Structures are given as C-alpha cells and as structure tokens.
Amino acid sequence: MAFRSAVITFPGSNCDRDMADALEKVSGTAPHRVWHGDHDLPEGLDFIALPGGFSYGDYLRCGAIASRSPVMQAVIAAAEKGVPVLGVCNGFQVLTESGLLPGALLRNSVIRFVCRDATLKVENAQSLFTSGYEAGQEIVIPVAHHDGNYFADDETLDRLEGEGRVAFRYAENVNGSARAIAGVLNAAGNVLGMMPHPERAIETTHGGTDGRALFESAIKGLVGA
Amino acid sequence: MKVRVHVSLKPGVLDPQGRAIHHSLEGLGFTGVNDVRAGRLFELDVADSTSDETLDDMCRKLLANMVIENYRIEKVAA
C-alpha cells in the first residue's frame, strides 16, 4: 500500500524540499506538494508535514499568519479526524499558533539564532512518530532556529508530562525551553511538533541518521512494515 | 475610526528581547532601569461602525497570542 503524504509550503518555507526528500527516501513514494493558498488537501492522506522556514517572513509572530492561511483550515480538520501531522521548526510554531498543540515558542533565551547539532532524549517511545526509538535513547538531530524557546504555563507542562506528551527533551537546553522540551504531542497522539530537524538527519551524508527512525516509525505504523 | 491595540507579554512570560534591551540601556550608562518588557503597538483604521466585540475578536484571533500575551484596545479621538 502506497504511503500518501503531503508537504505544505507557505511563502517563506525553506525546508519543504528537505522534508519531501526525506519522506520520499524513507517511504518510496513522493509526497504531494500543497501550497498555502489551497483550500483542500489531496484525498486519503496518511501523513501531513509542515516544514521549517520563515513563513510570511515571521511577521506578527512566528507561524501566526501561516496558521490562519486557507490550507491550515483543512490541516486542522484532518488532524481532528486523526490524520498524523508532523510540524518541524516553523511547522511546530504553526501548530502552536493554530491551537493544534498547546504552548508557544518564544525567542531563544540566549537571543542568538542557534544552529548546531543537538542531543535529544527520547521521552516517549510509544507514539506513532517515536516507536522506532527506545525510551531514554539519546539521538543527535540538528537545530536551526531563533524562536524555539518552548513556553506553557506550569499546569499545562504538568499535564503534558503526566500524559506522556513530551516526545523529546534537549540533553543540553539550547534555547531556554521550559523543562527542556524539544517536541510535544497532542492529546490524541497524532500531532507532533518539534524544533529539531529530523529530515536533516536521514542519510550518512547528512552527518547522522538519527532522524530516520521517526519517519520509519510513522510509515510503518500507518501502512505496515 | 482610529484604534490602537497594545499587545504585551503576560506577567511571568520570559522576555529575552526585553532583557537584551535592558542590558543595552545599562550599557549606554542609563541607571535606575528596573525592568524592560518589549511589546507591540498596532494602529488600525477601521470603519466607524466596527463594534467593540469585533475589535476584541480581531485581537483574540490574530493580533495577540492569548497563550503568552495580553492586549489593550484604545480608541483614538479623531
């Protein structure tokens, strides 16, 4: 069964090709490319990816304008029906701005843009996106962002931790995120937002392949081994 | 009708930009600055018939992120 995925491109997205390439290399099927102004998604999608970048120039707040674009209404409806949605970097910001994930991403506490490899600890290895890892496993995934400082109030953070919705945590907190959170899941477990870029770590020429298991987990979980 | 919308970070939300501005002010030799919080000001020109409810809606749906920010609407006399 072919894996039907889509990568959404907003004006200012710049990791959409990397994301599409990763999905195609791991699944064997090229994803649909969907433009922000489209009102409808292709039929029968197994997976939707919101890529990194600087949608709408980061005007207003990172991800704010993108989250109100026409295609996001369709993405929100699909996510609510259970279609898996992965948001990476700017995609994570779009997911919080759209209300699909709790919290917000503030300017890095160090002020500077942070671009480096980050070691992450896999906190939840049971989810659709993380079943290819082991709980507590440390993986190295690149980060490249200015606004990745995850914020939510204490009550929300306690709930996220209590429900196992913290997918990844930074081994070394590179951006000041609350409780070093690098990636969070929604309550149903079909939406994952993360600042680090797994699509930049899927083949040895990338300098590491620790991101590959994320895509493999999702594809295996959705269309079988 | 001219409307100003002031958006500011909620108390307790870390403001790295405000902190950097604070440090910069101190670097320029200004003393006695206890704290700096950075916010945004929007100046809107809207139809006179725009209701307070609609203005509120604009703030909640787009101008402010209610997870981290508060807003205040100020109508400017013509």
pLDDT 10s digits, A48-98: 999 999 999 999 999 999 999 999 999 999 999 999 999 999 999 999 999
Give chain A's domain count: 1
Q: What is the CATH number of the domain that holds A207?
A: 3.40.50.880
What does the pLDDT look like over A130-149, one tens digit per residue? 999 999 999 999 999 999 99
pLDDT at A1 over 70: no
Would you say B67 and A104 are in contact if contact means Cβ atoms under 8 Å apart? yes
Q: Residue A177: which domain range?
A: 5-223
Element (H, E) at B7: strand B2-9
Q: Which of A62, A89, A123, A145 is catalytic?
A: A89
Q: What is the 3-state secondary structure (H, E, C) of chain A?
A: CCCCEEEEECCCECCHHHHHHHHHHHHCCCCEEEECCCCCCCCCCCEEEECCECHHHHCCCCCHHHHCCHHHHHHHHHHHCCCCEEEECHHHHHHHHCCCCCCEEECCCCCCCEEEEEEEEECCCCCCCCCCCCCCCEEEEEEEECCCEEECCHHHHHHHHHCCCEEEEECCCCCCCHHHEEEEECCCCCEEEECCCHHHCCEHHHCECCCHHHHHHHHHHHHCC
Query: What residue ranges do the domains of chain B occupy?
Result: 2-76
CB contacts < 8 A, A to B, total: 36
CA distance A36 to chain B (A): 17
| pTM reported for the whole predicted model | 0.94
Is A67 within 8 Å of chain B by CB?
A: no
Q: Which CATH superfamily is domain B2-76 in?
A: Phosphoribosylformylglycinamidine synthase subunit PurS (3.30.1280.10)
Average pLDDT over residues A102-116: 94
Average pLDDT over residues A199-224: 93
